Amino acid sequence: MRLFTDATIITNDAEDRVIEGGCIGVEDETITYVGLPESAPPAVEERISLPHRVILPGQILAHTHLYSFLARGLSPSRAPADFVDVLEHLWWRLDQAMDLEDVYWSAMGGALSALLCGTTTIIDHHASPSCIGGSLDQIARALGHIGIRGLLSYEITDRHGHRGALEGVEENLRGFALAAQRPGWLAARTGLHASFTLDDRTLDTVAERCSKGVHVHVAEDAADVSRTRERYGEEILPRLVRRGLLTAESILVHGVHLSGPDLTAIARADAFLVHNPRSNMNNGVGAADLAACAKEGVRLALGTDGMGSDPVPEMMAAMLLLRHEHRDPSAGWNLVKDMYCKGNPALASRAFGLTLGRLEVGAAADLVVRRYEPPTPLTADNWWGHQLFGLGDAPVDRVVAGGRELVRGGEPVELDAGRIWSACRDRARGLWARW
């Protein structure tokens, strides 16, 4: 057993403990001990002393788009008029310009930046309509090289005709096959872009051929609601429910414009709804009614929707948005903590078939170690306040995924980060020239 010791441990388990001078024992890919060093089993092969450090569970990102990584610094030639214009003018031109090498390097860059900020599990939603077949292989390959966990989904859509949609179906089937080859490290869900770009016959094919657990943007903007109604004569949620596509395995994203009965259906299905407040504010689409979601018992989780690979700023944004919206200085404190600290681990644990996001015996050994000497008392009752106002921003010292130390002293242990960033810049130059 390896023992990470002399640190403050924030367990985020059922007891939600803070253990000062605590330690974590790791054997192979699993946590085998959490507690004080004097009670640790004697068979310790390696002792790693981490004074002035806090150990937290590896971070989990409940929804993102690794393909957007190479867009950093890319400036659209004009200001978008509305949300659909953002899609048409920026994202749908960018994803169409990508080839398989771009897919690989955007995933490498996105996964490396995730790793360096302590994120060890990513729920990805991918689109590359000019190279659909094999694109999830590239993402799986990149995640394997970086060493973190990832859920694969290809965004099925009729934007490029029915043939493109069917290629998306095939790619998702490939995603499930890839996930079966690396259980615990890769997972898969059936990716759907959004209701307003999915024809009825495509959804019928998905229901017939794919896993019923879908990963889909839902009512992100009012246009998804109105266009779905105009094109298909039906509402978004009933289209999924009627085909059996709303299940406990489903991951719905955004949910800004959902009705009360929609929320009831999501809660009843035990599906997850992923909130991405910075993306919602950036696109000016509004925000999900989290209080109504919580009241209905909807399982909530937190994503970034491609705005970086770090859930920490998203936590603060979620809380500030609630307070701003409701003109209430107490809104969101517990809701956001539950959304990230309970929701993300529950979503990821269900998807990967492992205990993730909790430091407890039997859980996956995914850890982030931050350099943080608390300037005020740090206890089980107030650690969330430290997380929001200092600990979350404290420098990452080490990152461990599945027992393997990937980052030490803030730098990758085995990877040449400079070479990866350089390759990303080269790919971005070419991609931007075609964009």
Phi and psi, residue 420, nearest 5° = -70, -45
Rounded CA separation 170/150 (Å):
19
Whole-number minimum distance, CB 337 to Zn ion, in Å?
23
Nearer to Zn ion, 158 or 305 (CB): 305
Is-contact 152 118, C-beta < 8 A?
no
Rounded CA separation 409/241 (Å):
48
Nearer to Zn ion, 168 or 402 (CB): 168
Burial letters for 169-202: b for 16+ Cβ neighbours within 10 Å, e otherwise? bebbbbbbebbeeeeebbbbbbbbbbbbbbeeeb
Nearer to Zn ion, 216 or 336 (CB): 216
Nearer to Zn ion, 293 or 367 (CB): 293
Nearer to Zn ion, 249 or 305 (CB): 305
Select the residue whose beta carbon is closest to Zn ion and give its number: 305
Instruction: Estimate to the nearest angstrom the gap between the alpha carbon of 226 and the chain centroid.
Output: 28
Is-contact 187 352, C-beta < 8 A?
yes
> Which residues lie near Zn ion (CB under 5 A)?
305
Whole-number minimum distance, CB 384 to Zn ion, in Å?
26
In three-state secondary structure terms, 367 is: strand
| Residues 6 or more apart in contact with residue 373 via CB below 8 angstroms | 52
Nearer to Zn ion, 55 or 107 (CB): 107
Which tokens belong to 69?
Answer: 């990584």
Nearer to Zn ion, 91 or 333 (CB): 91
**DSSP label at 247?**
S
Rounded CA separation 67/129 (Å):
12
Whole-number minimum distance, CB 86 to Zn ion, in Å?
12
Q: Count Cα neighbours of 322 within 13 Å in the Cβ-side half-sphere.
A: 21
Whole-number minimum distance, CB 98 to Zn ion, in Å?
16
Whole-number minimum distance, CB 94 to Zn ion, in Å?
14
Nearer to Zn ion, 254 or 337 (CB): 254
Whole-number minimum distance, CB 432 to Zn ion, in Å?
21
Which tokens belong to 180?
Answer: 């079966």
Whole-number minimum distance, CB 168 to Zn ion, in Å?
15
What is the CA angle 196-198-204, rounded to 5?
Answer: 135
Whole-number minimum distance, CB 273 to Zn ion, in Å?
13
Is-contact 66 21, C-beta < 8 A?
no
Report in angstroms the alpha-carbon separations of 424 from 217, 231, 331, 430: 27, 39, 40, 10
